[in-house]
């Protein structure tokens, strides 16, 4: 099945006119190096590493059989759209239909060239995953205190749900992937139920989503 590559900026949808050969997305963690005098270098897992990569393809000037029927045959129509998004530092959503690729990104770079006199433009689009820093919270110590000021170490303090404010282009599956590392229907349907959202595929900018610990999301199961 041919995949659809789509970018959403504000209220504008940009569907690539020709499906690129590859749909690549990188996930990983950074490795921290600690030098211990008696042991030497010790390596330990660090924080998550965000995607940063390129999309290569063609903006056609001719109605080839493999071009999206609804596509513009003006290559510079697409060049100008992406150049404008880059200039405005716009935050968009990058979606590849039929895959798990669905994330907020920024356009980091755009290069292009005409090669053969056909008018077709070959491009390389550089994108980087964007993360809302306002959604990142720092948890306090996992301890509770008794009324007389002494520390109660018998039970850890209850962790309150985090709060996330929905922005344009957000989806519950993407929010679940960000907070729980899993964007499957089991997770986003549970998050919708937790927040009293009737349709898990329908959320609006400005909505406040409660993000509970994973154990609480599934009712301790």
Q: Are residues 103 and 15 in the same domain?
A: yes
Whichever domain contains 169, its CATH number is 3.10.350.10
Q: Are the C-beta atoms of 187 and 180 separated by less than 8 Å?
A: yes
**How many domains are contained in the chain?**
2
16 and 91 housed in the same domain: yes
Q: For strand 121-129 and strand 52-59, is the pairing parallel, antiparallel, or unpaired?
A: antiparallel
Residue 109 belongs to a domain: yes
Residues 169 and 106 in one domain: no
Give the CATH number of the domain where residue 82 resides. Answer: 2.40.30
Same domain, 13 and 113: yes
Q: Are residues 191 and 114 in the same domain?
A: no
Helices 172-180 and 185-194: angle between axes, nearest 10 degrees? 100
Which residues have a Cβ under 8 Å from the Cβ of 209 and sit 6 or more positions away? 163, 164, 165, 166, 172, 175, 191, 195, 203
Pair (125, 179) in one structural domain: no
pLDDT in tens, the chain (221 residues): 467 899 988 878 899 999 999 888 887 888 888 878 777 788 888 777 889 999 999 999 999 999 998 899 999 999 999 999 999 999 988 988 878 888 889 999 999 999 989 999 999 999 999 877 654 444 444 444 444 444 454 454 556 788 888 877 788 988 888 888 888 889 999 999 999 999 988 888 888 899 999 889 987 55
Cα separation, 62 vs 199, whole angstroms: 42
Are 173 and 107 part of one and the same domain? no
Tell me, yes or no, whether 39 lies in a domain: no
Task: Compute the CA torsion angle 81, 82, 85, 86 (nearest 10 deg).
Answer: -150
Are 9 and 106 in the same domain? yes
Regarding whether 165 and 125 lie in a shared domain, the answer is no
Tally of residues, the chain? 221
Which domain range does residue 169 map to?
161-221
């Amino acid at each position: 099945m041919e995949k659809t590559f789509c970018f959403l900026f504000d209220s504008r949808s940009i569907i690539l006119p020709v499906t690129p050969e590859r749909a690549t997305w990188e996930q990983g963690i950074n490795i921290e190096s600690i030098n211990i005098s008696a042991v030497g270098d010790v390596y330990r897992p660090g924080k998550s590493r965000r995607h940063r990569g390129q999309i290569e393809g063609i903006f056609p000037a001719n109605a080839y059989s493999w071009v999206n029927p609804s596509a513009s045959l003006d290559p510079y129509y697409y060049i100008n759209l992406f150049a404008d998004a880059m200039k405005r530092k716009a935050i968009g959503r990058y979606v590849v239909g039929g895959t798990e690729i669905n994330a907020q990104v920024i356009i980091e770079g755009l290069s292009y060239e005409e090669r053969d006199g056909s008018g077709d433009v070959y491009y390389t689009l550089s994108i980087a995953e964007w993360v809302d820093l306002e959604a990142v919270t720092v948890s306090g110590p996992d301890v509770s205190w008794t009324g007389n000021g002494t520390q109660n170490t018998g039970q850890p303090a209850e962790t309150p749900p985090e709060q996330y404010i929905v922005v344009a282009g957000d989806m519950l599956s993407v929010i679940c992937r960000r907070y729980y590392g899993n964007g499957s229907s089991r997770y986003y349907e549970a998050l919708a139920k937790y927040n009293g959202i009737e349709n898990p595929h329908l959320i609006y900018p400005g909505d406040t989503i409660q993000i509970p610990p994973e154990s609480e999301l599934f009712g301790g199961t």
